[in-house]
Amino acid sequence: SQQGEEDPQALSIQEGENATMNCSYKTSINNLQWYRQNSGRGLVHLILIRSNEREKHSGRLRVTLDTSKKSSSLLITASRAADTASYFCATDGRSSASKIIFGSGTRLSIRP
């Protein structure tokens, strides 16, 4: 089962515009991570945000976390063609039985 659900499923924007993707999850978490996957390749870690953090930045990336709404957002500013990829959130649950669960992903396309 998928704990994290990304929204939208697909997003197409013009190069230079900002892209925002959202992730919702169901149970309490220790941390949430965002990963990027280029077509047919392995995943690359982008950023990790802990449950006691509300916002983190890394270069052109900004991640927010709202634990009261069980949601997170990933903002990519000044998008580039190389940002074309699928983006996944992954949650690490709090209970001892929790495991890392990836969402279904957002497919981002950057138009030149």
**Site for another protein, rule CB under 8 A:** 2, 4, 30-31, 33, 35, 40-45, 48, 50, 88, 90, 92, 99-105
CA-CA distances (angstroms) from residue 72 to 5, 10, 30, 40, 96?
Answer: 10, 17, 13, 25, 23
The nearer residue to another protein, 42 or 112, going by C-beta atoms, is 42
| Contact (Cβ atoms closer than 8 angstroms) between residue 78 and residue 61 | no
Shortest distance in whole angstroms from residue 59 CB to another protein: 16
Minimum CB distance to another protein smaller for 23 or for 76: 23
CA 77/CA 80 separation, integer angstroms: 9
Residue 43 beta carbon to another protein: minimum distance, rounded to whole angstroms: 4
Taking the complex as a whole, the smallest distance from the CB of residue 81 to another protein amounts, in Å, to 22
